[in-house]
Amino acid sequence: MIQVRRRSVWSAALVALVAATAGGVAWGLSGSPARSAAQAPTPVDYPGLPHTPVNVSEGGCGAGWSSGRTGLQVFDLRDSSTGNADVQLLEPSSGRVVGEVEGLAAGTSRPLLVRLAAGRYAFRCLLTDTDAVTGPAVPVSGPGSQSEGASGTPGVVPVTQQDLIPAAQAYQKWVAAQLPALLAQVTALQSDVAAGDLGRARADWLTAHLSYERLGAAYGAFGDADAAINAAGHDGTGFHRLEYGLWHGESAASLGAPAARLVQDVRALQRSWSAVQFDPQLLGVRAHEIVENTIEFELTGRTDEGSGSNLRTAQANLEGTAEVLALLRPLLASRLPLGPVDAALSAARAELRSLGGVPLSQVTRAQRELLNARFGALVEELAPVAAVCDERRTS
């Protein structure tokens, strides 16, 4: 895993999650741009659907909506306060959120598309520099109840930073426990190079590199250390510099300095890791991004500097993803059906095992297409994990 792309998971995840309007599990956010008061949303935004104007302010959160019917509908949210606001539509009895709009600017409007079952709902307005304000509970009648779930967008209890901290701490301890073995492995690699045993060095290179790749979710916290240890290309330092030399006939003498530098960088990482402030939000994001990066860099062979080990690296990446999911499972179990996620992960791992870790050049086109399909399906299933684990204000 290299060069983790830093982007808002929200934008990608919501494409998948707005499937909530068809019964999927997630918040029914709208991707429509904010509009000024003079450009308030109209039924043309979602033609044929019922629209309800709703006010967003400290003193009038949810004003304008007093009763409703079940089904797919649009709430036209207008921020009449003096600051930005996040707006959530929730079930007051459980705290589950069924719809959300983030970053609604003062004086602007935006539509919220959501499917409601029968029950009671309220808007929660989270305005800048003020406490959360929850509007009145509004009865919604018609076929299908909240308890049935199938007739409306299933609600999800928001994840807070406090919820994520235990998982992040457990992950940090897990990484710390892996680093001594990694240091021993790169030290063995350096010894092989120093002894001129490049055949053994190639074997030890692969062992060490796969160990590093299993730490996928930590790369954002590794920062510059990751760039030194695992940056793509053979013209820098780290694993890929050694890979190129070991598989392109360089002498042991020429590889001595890069091998020593790799040991130095891993040792420095081990010393500094306990002081790293690991962002709890990274876990949910990285479960998704590890697989995205595997598709972009490993399944295309872009990182191959001669070892032909991309498929084995992809397998290590999936092991890292499984570790992240194991730590997040207590949070996710009550918020997201994990069966499809587990099935997609198992299918991707099984496909890699069936190929036996051969170089990509030996994989047929049909095999590549099936492998890409397996990983594409896994990315789709992991997108809700990233979105659900995006921490939110609730007060």
pLDDT digits (tens, 9 = 90+) for 240-287: 999 999 999 999 999 999 999 999 999 999 999 988 888 888 888 888
Give the pLDDT band of residue 327 (cuts 50, 70, 90). very high
Kindly state the average pLDDT of the residues 308-332: 95
Residue-level pLDDT at 27? 44
Residues 6+ apart with CB under 8 A from 325: 287, 332, 338, 341, 345, 385
Contact (CB, 8 A) for 345 and 304: no
Give the pLDDT band of residue 14 (cuts 50, 70, 90). very low
Cα–Cα separations (whole angstroms), residue 213 to 103, 109, 110, 314, 392: 36, 45, 42, 9, 30
Residue-level pLDDT at 311? 98
Residue-level pLDDT at 363? 97
Q: Which residue bears the tokens 């104007």?
A: 53
Residue-level pLDDT at 24? 37
Over pLDDT 70: what percentage of the chain? Answer: 86
Give the pLDDT band of residue 22 (cuts 50, 70, 90). very low
CATH 2.60.40.420 residue ranges of the chain are 27-141
Closest by CA to 113, choosing from 188, 161, 48, 185, is 48
How far apart (Å, rounded) are the C-alpha atoms in residues 288 and 324? 10
Give the pLDDT band of residue 367 (cuts 50, 70, 90). very high
pLDDT(181) > 80 = yes
pLDDT(38) > 50 = no
pTM equals 0.81
CATH code, 161-388:
1.20.1420.20
* DSSP line for 283-308: HHHHHHHHHHHIIIIITTTTT-SSS-
Kindly state the average pLDDT of the residues 93-117: 93
Contact (CB, 8 A) for 203 and 250: no
Residue-level pLDDT at 7? 31
- Which pair of tokens denotes residue 306? 């001669």
Q: Which is the CATH superfamily of the domain at 27-141?
A: Cupredoxins -  blue copper proteins (2.60.40.420)
Cβ burial 7-31 (10 Å sphere, 16+ → b, else e): eebeebbbebbbbbbeeebbbbbbe
CATH 1.20.1420.20 residue ranges of the chain are 161-388
Give the pLDDT band of residue 44 (cuts 50, 70, 90). low
Give the pLDDT band of residue 144 (cuts 50, 70, 90). low
